[in-house]
Structure 1
């Protein structure tokens, strides 16, 4: 990675934490800022009035999407597969969860 794209880790964060956060967080950020008519920068209020679907809200990327979208003001809906996963997505900040194993989630 070019040095200008690297972000220094805080002193209390080891390389394992940095490695675990980098790809999921960057992927989530990109997913939330890629819309042609959407925001290019996440900050509080950047997604006010928007609804974000976080597919797989308990996975690393989905979890980061929930947290970033909620922080930026979006209403967050997350797909989940069980009550335990629903608790994880809700704890991350998802306003609503949809269990895709309970019938057709599109209805």
Structure 2
């Protein structure tokens, strides 16, 4: 998936990653998401999340290399919140570089 489909914000070496509105529009209504586990080590070639949506099923690679330090538990329990535009509720993972 192209980098334009996710956003990243870095704070003190921890990168928060989420899907952009453009990415969500291409996927359609998100109905399932598989998130990494806290403690997982990721490279840029590793799958960060798997998303099932109305228009597509996609494996989205990690945009950064590092260790997962947090996941959006709300999104894990209710993937439909990822359909919103609010970054405070629609981030998927925090990765420490």
- Range into which the TM-score falls when normalised by the shorter chain: under 0.3
TM-score by length of 1: 0.20
Instruction: Give the structure with higher Rg (CA).
Output: 1
- The one of the two structures with greater contact order (alpha-carbon pairs below 8 A, sep at least 6) is 2
Say which structure is richer in strand: 2
Say which structure is richer in helix: 1
